Amino acid sequence: MQGKSEQHKPHVVILGGGFGGLECCRRLKGADVLVTLIDRHNHHLFQPLLYQVATAGLSAPEIAHPIRSILSGQENARVLLDEALAIDPAAKHIELKESGRMEYDQLVLAVGARTNYFGKDHWEPHAPGLKTLEDARAIRHRLLLAFERAERERDPDRRERLMRVVVVGGGATGVELAGAFAELTKRVLARDFRNIDPSRAHVILLEVAPRILGAFHPALSESARRQLESLGVEVRLNQRIKDIREGVVELADGALHAETIVWGAGVRPAAICDDLPCEKDRSGRLKVAPDLAVPGCPGVYAIGDIVHLVDAKGRPVPGVSPAAMQMGRHVARSIRARLAGKPPPPPFAYFDKGSMATIGRSRAIAQIGRIRFSGLTAWLAWLFVHLVFLVGFRNKLAVLLQWFYSYVHFRRGARLIS
């Protein structure tokens, strides 16, 4: 409920406490508005490190931070643990699962993406994606349990299947998962079992395109492939998937049997975006105006990886966290300008600070403008950047110590099956 002093203030509702939504909320600090940030979870998740939770490198609390704690010093902001079910742009209200109807003056959609199975949603139970902490825990559970079963399995063929991991998708998520799975099995789990040799586990990365990490320069893609193969990952390119069943990936040239199958092949916007009366691209992303407003939805902005936008420089804006944060700042400036009766800021232009992808211990690739590098230097740069953007001092310290411990001792402490 709004207090008396807040009833006449413009109400800005932000759906989503990810990078973009949180940045937009922070940039409205001190503005003469009431900001309500709504999220289905009570924490901000540092998604770039989510794969490390799935592969037992980090524990969940190390990459998540309570949203209320982050915004505790912002007097004009309140946090609501709830889920938006529908948006009525004409009436300017949203329907919430627990709180019912809520009116807004300005609405910022920062709801993020979900896993895209490209019309094959029945594959999801057999090949889970990686978008939430629950997803990460489920993947870790499946992998570790497979090796526990292999330890007591007497049938060699069945044991081999239990120790095979298939990752679908050669983007950043798939590459990072495949590399981390290989290191986990060959460097960490190899010490823990007596009846099996986890170092002989088979990690396979499947990619439909002619190369992995298609967003990077071809030379870096090739470097990433070589680095993966040096870890023992089998990289298969030009692979068309016909079907996925329990423990089986059907390919055009045969079937792969594996106990652990993980999907990292694509994303699409959250379901609440589906019914918005605006133009969308083939993936369902919202085609927004240059100022990030949603056409046909007065007072509604969209930011992050739910957006399809060619920016003021004529470049497509990628669905990455730096872009989401820049969008959040731009929308906050637009809202402040509108409230003050000032001209809006110039159209959104993305400042590309570069791209990185980690493959494993001392292995990574990076490109910053025309500068491209790989190996140890790229890996150290990747570590530094992720520590800088991780929210919360305790989280930064915990992750740094865990990384140092793992690097020195080849150990991972988050190998719990629950």
* pLDDT at residue 4, rounded to an integer: 42
Its pTM stands at: 0.91
- Of the pLDDT bands very low, low, confident and very high (cuts 50, 70, 90), residue 414 is low
- For residue range 216-263, list pLDDT tens digits in order: 999 999 999 999 999 999 999 999 999 999 999 999 999 999 999 999
* pLDDT at residue 409, rounded to an integer: 57
Q: Which residue has the tokens 């057999």?
A: 126
Whole-number mean pLDDT of the chain? Answer: 92
pLDDT above 60 for 208: yes
314 DSSP assignment: S
Q: How far apart are CA 372 and CA 220, in angstroms?
A: 7
pLDDT above 60 for 365: yes
Q: How far apart are CA 347 and CA 291, in angstroms?
A: 5
pLDDT above 50 for 203: yes
Average pLDDT over residues 4-14: 78
Q: How far apart are CA 72 and CA 132, in angstroms?
A: 24
Domain 121-265 listed as CATH 3.40.50.300: no
* pLDDT at residue 66, rounded to an integer: 94
Among 23, 160, 176, 207, the one annotated catalytic: 176
Q: What's at 119, amino acid-wise?
A: G
- For residue range 379-401, list pLDDT tens digits in order: 999 988 888 888 877 787 778 77
Please indicate whether residue 100 or residue 60 has the higher confidence score (pLDDT).
Answer: 100
Q: How far apart are CA 24 and CA 22, in angstroms?
A: 5
Architecture of the domain whose range is 4-40+82-115+267-339 = 3-Layer(bba) Sandwich (3.50)
* pLDDT at residue 353, rounded to an integer: 87
Q: Considering only CA atoms, which of 178, 184, 153 is closest in space to residue 166?
A: 178
Q: Is the dihedral of CA 351, 129, 24, 95 positive or negative?
A: positive
- Of the pLDDT bands very low, low, confident and very high (cuts 50, 70, 90), residue 3 is very low
- For residue range 119-155, list pLDDT tens digits in order: 999 999 999 999 999 999 999 999 999 999 999 999 9
Are 162 and 155 in contact, with CB atoms under 8 Å apart? no
Q: Considering only CA atoms, which of 52, 29, 81 is closest in space to residue 395?
A: 52
Q: Report residue 117 as tokens.
A: 């199975």
* pLDDT at residue 413, rounded to an integer: 56
HSE-up (13 A, CA, CB side) for residue 22: 23
Are 237 and 207 in contact, with CB atoms under 8 Å apart? yes
Q: How far apart are CA 389 and CA 39, in angstroms?
A: 20
pLDDT above 60 for 5: no
The Cβ of residue 232 has, within 10 Å, a number of other Cβ atoms equal to 17
Q: Is 176 a catalytic residue?
A: yes
Listed in order, the ranges of the chain carrying CATH 3.50.50.60 are 4-40+82-115+267-339, 121-265
* pLDDT at residue 41, rounded to an integer: 95
- For residue range 160-172, list pLDDT tens digits in order: 999 999 999 999 9
pLDDT above 50 for 1: no
Are 271 and 40 in contact, with CB atoms under 8 Å apart? no
Classify residue 202 as exposed, middle or buried by CB count within 10 Å of its CB (0-12, 13-18, 19+): middle
Q: Render the burial of 264-282: b for 16+ CB within 10 Å, e for the rest.
A: bbbbbbbebbeebebebee
Helix (H) or strand (E) holding 371: strand 371-374
CA 74 remoteness from chain centre:
26
For 356, residues 6+ apart whose C-beta sits below 8 A from its C-beta are 364, 365, 366, 367, 378, 381, 382, 385
For 294, residues 6+ apart whose C-beta sits below 8 A from its C-beta are 89, 109, 276, 278, 286, 288, 300, 301, 302
Q: Considering only CA atoms, which of 101, 100, 98, 111 is closest in space to residue 24?
A: 111
